[in-house]
Structure 1
C-alpha cells in the first residue's frame, strides 16, 4: 500500500492535464498496470535508459514555470509525511537557479541573507552607497477602544449648507427642505447614575401612601427634602419653616370723575350740563334725534382683584365604596401586622381567654387550679379594658387643639379669598340690648366695620369671611327682635305720634379687594353730616349714600 501511494504522489506533480495528446509519451518501462495507470492519467514517464541529469533537464524543459512551485511543494510534503524520495526526481528539487527556466528562477528566494549597510550618519545604504528610503511602519493599535477612536476621528460629517446660491448650484431645488439637525448624528446618551437611597425612599413613600394616604406621604417627602437640604448646608436649622415670598397685587389707579359722563355727551348739544340748568325747552337742550328705541349697554368694568382659581373637587364616594375601601385598608394593615409577627419584630398577642370560652381554650388545664385561672382571666380582661380607655384618652384632643379646630371650622374658609362686605340699614338702634348684640357678635365672628347711629336711621357695615358674614346676617335679619320696646319707655305717648315699625334690612352685599376698617366700633352721631364724615374718612362714603337712598318696598 505504501509503495502504491508513493508512486501516486510521484505521478501527480508531473501530470500535464492541460497539454494535448501529442506531448504525452507512453512509458516503456514498468509493469503493465503502471503503464495503464499512466496512460489513463496522462502522466509522462522518463525512459529507463535516459540518465538522471538528462531526464531532469528534459523534464524541467517540459514543466511550465508556474507549475514548478507546485511540484516542489508536493515533493516536500511527501518527504514530511515519511515517504521514500525517488532518486529520479531528487535533482529537480536541488537544481540551481541558473538551470531553471527564467520564470521559475524569478520565483526563487535569494540564497544569501540581506546585508545591513550604514553610513557615518546611521542611514541605511545599498551596495552602491545610495541612501535607502525606508518608510517607517505605522503603529497600529489592536485595542478595540483605540480602533473605534481612530474610526471616529477619521469619520467626517458633511454639514448641510445653510444658504445655497441657486446661480452657483444649478441642481439646487428650493422645494426640498434640508433639516441639518436630522442629518447630523445625535449625541450618544451618557450614563445616568441613580443616587444612593433613591429606591428605598420611593418604597417608603409608597408604603406611607398605602397606610395613611396621599397627604401623609407628601408631608413625609417634604420633610425628607428639608432634611437633605439641611445636611447639604449645615448652617441652616432644619426645624425652621421656609416662608415663601408674598405676592402683593397692585391696585389699579382709580379713574378721575369726568365733568360730563360719556353716555350723556352725544345727547347734549353743547356737551355740558350747564345747558340743562337753563330754563329753555327740552328740544333746545337735548338732541332728540339721538334718542332711539335701541339700548346701549355700558362698558364692562374690570373687577378690582383677579378671581381665585377653583379648588379641586374631592372625589365623592358612595357608602358602599367607603365601606369597601375601609375593609381593604384594615385587611392590608392586619396582613402587615401578621408579617411583622412572623418575622419576630413584634410580640404576638396573648390568647384572649374569657369566662365563657374557658373550657374551649384551655381544656384540661382549666380543671387543675380553677380559682387561680379565674383570677388570671379577670386580670387580663381588666388590662384589656384599661388599654382601650388609654387609647381613647391618647386620641382625645387637648383643650387648645379643640379650640383651634373650632376656630378653623368657623373662620377658615378656603373657598373665599376676598373680603365680603354687608351694609344694613336700621330705623332705630337706640335699644341697649340690641346694640350689645350687634357689637359683641361682630367681635366674636372676627368682623371689622362700624355701626353709625344718627337721628333718622342707623347704618351697620361689617367686613369678613363668608361664614362669619352668613352667621352675622342671620343675627341681624332673624334673631334680633327689632320691634321690642324699652321697659322704662314712657307708656303715656301720644297716639298721634305713631312711628313706623323698627326693622333691619340688607342694603348691599358684595366683595372687595381688602377691608377698609381695622376693628368694629360704634359711633353715636348727633347730625347726619357727622355720620357721613365717619364713612368718608374710611374711604367708603358711598356706603352711607346707599343706605340713605335705599327704599324698602315692604315699608
Structure 2
C-alpha cells in the first residue's frame, strides 16, 4: 500500500489545479481542430479565434430513441406504460455488393468409372423389371431360344421334329433383330432435330466463352480456296467475315468467332489441312482474261460465295473476285495472327466481302469495331518484309 503526503492531498482538494488542467486540455483540442481544418483548406484562420472554437452542432433536447417514452419533448415526464422488457432489434440491411459462391466443379471421371456407372444404371433397370415380373405387374418374357441353345431348351421338341423347331427359332431371332432395329430407328433423331441439337450446343458453349481468331492470307483469288474458307466456317457454326482487298497481296483477312472447340478445329483446317498452293480451276487457266458471262457463271458455279451482289464497302456494283492470282501460287500462305476471348459475338453470320482499297477495308472493320485487326495485319506484313530484306542482305553479305 502506498501513502500520499497530506500536503499533496490538500493542494488537490483546495486548489484549482484540476480545473486548470482540464481547461488546458480543452484548449489544446480546440487548437488541433483549428489547425487541421485550416491545413485542409476548408476555412481561413480569420474565422477562428486563437484558443476557442464555437460549437457547430447543438445537442438535441431528447434523443430520437427516447421519443416514444417521453412527453412534450422533455425527460421530466416519462410514459412508464410504454416501457417494456422487449428489445428492439433493427432488421439487417442487405450488403452493398452481392457475392455468389462459385459453381461446383464438374468431376472428371475416367473411362473405367464411366463404364461402371453405366453398368450400375442398366442393372438397376433390369432389377426393376424383374421385381415387376415377380409381383405380376408384367408378364414373363418368352424364352430367348437361339440356334446355339435350342437343343438344350427344346429337347423333346427337337427330337420329335428338328426341322420345324429350327424354323421357329430362326423366325424368333429375326423378329428380335427387327424389333431391336426398330427401337434404334425410333430413338434416332431426324435431320432437323440433329441440327437443332448442334445449334443449341453451340449457343451454350458461346455463353461460356466466345473466341475470336484472325488470319492473314496471301491471296484469295482462287475460288476453290474461298469455297473452303466459307464452307468450313459454316459447317462449324462460326460467324465472321472474309475480307478481300484488290491490289493488296498478303492483306486478305479472315475473322471468325465461336466456341473454343470449333475455333480450334477451324484453325487446324486453315493452317494445316488446306493446300494454299493449289492450282486454279481449269476454266480459269484456259481463259485467264475472260470477261464474258460464261467465265463468270463457271466461277459462280464452283464458288457459291463469289456472289455478284455489291459489297457495302466497295461502292461499286461491278466488283467481283478476280480470277488471276495476285502473287505466285507457290508462295501463297495462311497465318494465324491472333486468337483470344472476346466479351460477346460481333457477327451474325459468316459473309464474304470484297473491297477495292485499304481505306474501304478499314471502314468495314471500323463499323464492326474491329479496326485494330487491320493495324495488326499491317504490322505483321511490315515485319515480314523487313525480315525478308534482312535475309537477302545477309545472303549477299555471305556471298561476298
Give the TM-score normalised by the residue count of structure 2.
Answer: 0.50
Of Structure 1 and Structure 2, the greater helix share is in 2
Q: Which has the higher contact order (CA 8 A, sep 6+)?
A: 2
Which structure: larger Rg?
1
Give the TM-score normalised by the residue count of structure 1.
Answer: 0.37
